[in-house]
Amino acid sequence: MSGGDSRPSAARALVSEIEGHLLVAATRAEGRTAAARFTAPFDWLGDDRRREVEERFEAEYLVLARESWQRTAERAGRLRGEYEERYRALRRRLLAACLLGVCAVLGCAGVLLLGRG
């Protein structure tokens, strides 16, 4: 493998890492927004308590999001395996059908040639 071969995979890894950081940052922002909406009706909470509730809410929001991402990734992996197996089975059946068709054509041609001779 040359050095040029590793650059695209390194670039892909870097892009994936950046996307991951951006996804987490966006989810944190969503969590903060949801936390602020959640605590808004609790005007009896002091600022310190409200901030504490918002921080806990945001942390739990991020945990739930990560668990959801993990389940989604696991399901995607299972689906990929299932589809790859179906594709391989379809290829085998198509190859068998093509071979059967070629054999049928050759058999008919042989019968026709023997009938003329």
Label residue 1 by pLDDT band (50, 70, 90): very low
Residue 47 inside a domain? The answer is yes
- Burial (CB count within 10 angstroms: exposed 0-12, middle 13-18, buried 19+), residue 58: buried
In a domain, 66, yes or no: yes
Query: Domain for residue 93, yes or no?
Result: no
CA distance 23 to 29: 10
Q: Mean per-residue pLDDT for 7-11?
A: 83
The mean per-residue pLDDT over the stretch 106-111 comes to 90
Lowest-confidence segment of 2-11, 15-24, 55-64 by average pLDDT: 2-11
The reply to whether 114 falls in a domain is no
Confidence check: pLDDT of 81 > 60: yes
Q: Does 63 map to a domain?
A: yes
Say whether pLDDT at 28 is over 80: yes
Range of 22's domain?
3-88
Q: What percent of the chain has pLDDT over 70?
A: 93
The SS3 assignment for 4 reads helix
What pLDDT was estimated at residue 31?
94
Domains held by the chain: number: 1
Band (pLDDT 50/70/90 cuts) for residue 6 is: low
Which pTM was predicted?
A: 0.64
In a domain? residue 111: no
